[in-house]
Chain A
Amino acid sequence: MAVRPPRRRRGEGGVNPTGSLVRSEGMGSSPPLGPPPVGVEPTGAVTVGERSFDDFYRRELAGLVALARALCPPGIAEDIAQEAMLVVYRRWPEVRDLEHPEAYVRRVCANLAVSQFRRRLAEARAFSRSRVPDPGPEHGEHADFWRLVRSLPRRQAQAVALHYLYDLSVADVARTLQVSEGSVKVHLSRARQSLARQLGVDVGEDP
């Protein structure tokens, strides 16, 4: 599953060529895009006027780990999130100029989390770092909900996780996953019906 950053640059043509991931409300829980922060680049150089990877990492990591925990079994979520961040780290000069680098890293993470080969890779790495304690089975009153999400077809699971974890609209989920809005609507609707049926709750209205 090749995941490449789109070759679109901030400010090109004065219009967001991605079809805009920018909403007035921002992308879910992401902070609004303000002036680029001052930070330290992966090379160690301090940059002014450009987005810093360190800031990006600190801002996005917890959300990515939550996304990975929603989509893959416990114990490897942190590795999946870290893998997604590694992809961004390697390509930071390109990624930082994207309109919304956070959408890119979320897509990478969501795709890695449902890819069985990369899951295996993460498993092996998790073992090689055996000093990390075994996280054991999932706890929490909502563990069953996420277990059911993970049992959904992968696109449905991705749509549900992005929609609820980041509070993204259907349009934003579609842009994050780079699929059509109609497709996201179908996936979300089917996923919600399936979850409601299994949980025995009222499905409510589609978003």
Chain B
Amino acid sequence: MRLDELARAAAEDLRESADRDLDPAVSLGRLRRTRRRRKAAWLTAVAAVVVATAVAASDALGGRRAVLPLVPAEPTRTAASARTTAPPRPDEAFVVRSGTGLLSWSSRGLETLHGIEAEVRSFAFSPDGSRVAYGTPTSIVVADPDTGRSERLAACRTDACPVTWTPDGLEVLTSSPGLLRRIEVSTGVERTVALPAGWDPLSLDVSREGLVLMVVGGPDTGRLATVPLSGGMPAVVHTLPRATFGFDARWSPDGRRVAWMSKAEPDLPSVSVSDLVVNVVDADGGHARRLAVVGRCACLGHTPGLDWSPRGRLAVMSSDTRTQTAFEVGPAGKLTRIGGGSGPVAWRPATPG
């Protein structure tokens, strides 16, 4: 038998089974209901951001009456309308994605960061906290959140588009399948570091010593792995249990531990919503343990994130079908609610000195 005959018969079989199984009228009704539901969810999210911004503004004004903005809070402004001098940041700030922007919680209250106007897949602050690099479905952008100035640095070549900074703050690190990409921020010059075949990092983080941490592999081959920033022999820190999807691995500030998130990933087609777990393992691969369960993950379109602050605070975003809540995870796994948002999270370091 020739391949063409076999393929055409298989195609005919598939088309017939699709024709047989479907009721377009029912599917069309479902499509309209889904569209209405999503529209309503979007409007609710916008309204929530408006209210949160108004409440924060009220607090920041010391009890003066807050004026509700007439339009949804825009995460970006033009450079001209934004502040030109950045006020000092005495404390590290917790930053989350909200809509197409970033919101920052700190002792200064709730602030919208400038220069971000896209669907943010991942983001990370430079070591001095003055700039943020973020990945969108198409680009990697570097922005100054205080002035709103932003510049497209490079194209994004993966869905996850992970970004992080090198310890010297001179380069942004991202990945494409089989490669680490080091992009010099001032010039846009790119260098690459080869990874083993099949490695397509879902998240990236660099230790102060220049060791790049990443999550690679699928539900049955997931691993936490490291590779030196300058290239060299990759090493596997921890192999994830079978049928576990791991993501967002981060070094602790002292580089002695790694935290990451995981979700059980049953074999298809028995799909389910499962526990979203915060895990920790020592940097040498020993003493792997579950630190906390932060909800049931449906992860509707946004993979929840996790990050360790420079002062050792571990923050994590929960995600279920109804709410997204950010928690700080204590040493014994105690959860303290610290905000809301969705998807990736990061800590913005305080102003040096």
Contacts and interface: CB of A to CB of B under 8 A. Distances in A.
Interface of A: 1-2, 29, 42, 54, 57-58, 61-63, 65-66, 69-70, 73-76, 78, 82, 85-86, 89-90, 115-117, 120-121, 123-128, 134-137, 140-142, 145-146, 160, 164-165, 167, 192, 195-196, 199, 201-204
Nearest to A137: B269
A75 B30 CA distance: 17
Contacts, number: 134
Given A61-B27, A142-B13, A204 B2 contact: yes
Contact of A75 (B17, B160, B269): B269
B159 A164 contact: no
A141 B351 CA distance: 65
Q: Which 8 A-B pairs have the closest CB atoms?
A: A75-B269, A142-B10, A66-B18, A164-B11, A123-B271, A145-B10, A65-B18, A204-B2
B15 A61 contact: no
B162 to A, nearest CB: 12
A2 B138 CA distance: 7
Contacts of A126: 269, 271
A1 B19 contact: no
Contact of B30 (A2, A82, A117, A201): A82
Interface in B9-50: 9-11, 13-15, 17-19, 21-22, 24, 27-28, 30-32, 34-35
B3 A127 contact: no
Interface string B151-186: 000000001100000000000000000000000000
Given A61-B27, A115-B159, A128 B18 contact: no
Contact of A89 (B11, B22, B24, B31): B31
Contact of A82 (B27, B268, B300): B27
Given A165-B15, A199-B3, 16 more contacts: A57-B31, A61-B22, A61-B27, A66-B11, A73-B268, A75-B269, A78-B27, A117-B159, A124-B300, A136-B269, A142-B9, A142-B10, A145-B7, A146-B10, A146-B14, A201-B2
Contact of A204 (B4, B14, B30): B4
Interface residues of B, number: 42
Nearest to A68: B18
Given A73-B268, A127-B272, A201-B1, A86 B299 contact: no
B273 interface: yes
Interface of B: 1-4, 6-11, 13-15, 17-19, 21-22, 24, 27-28, 30-32, 34-35, 137-138, 159-160, 268-273, 298-301, 303, 321
B8 to A, nearest CB: 6
Contacts of B303: 117, 120
Given A140-B17, A204-B4, A42 B32 contact: yes
A167 B18 CA distance: 16
Contact of B14 (A70, A167, A199): A70
A82 B138 contact: no
A142 B14 contact: yes
A96 to B, nearest CB: 16
Nearest to A148: B10
Nearest to B200: A116
A75 B21 CA distance: 13
Given A42-B32, A201-B1, A124 B273 contact: yes
A67 to B, nearest CB: 9
A117 B159 CA distance: 7
A22 B81 CA distance: 49
Contacts of A125: 300
Which residue of B11, B298, B300 has the most chain A CB atoms within 10 A of its CB atom? Answer: B11
A202 B2 contact: yes
A63 B15 contact: yes
B352 to A, nearest CB: 36
Nearest to B30: A82
A196 B3 contact: yes
B35 A86 contact: yes
A205 to B, nearest CB: 8
Chain A CB count within 10 A is highest, among B4, B28, B137, B298, for B4
B275 to A, nearest CB: 14
Contacts of A42: 32, 35
B28 A202 contact: no
A140 B268 contact: no
Contacts of B19: 62
B269 A74 contact: yes
A65 B22 contact: yes
A176 B300 CA distance: 28
Contacts of B22: 61-62, 65, 78
Contacts of A204: 2-4
A68 B271 CA distance: 17
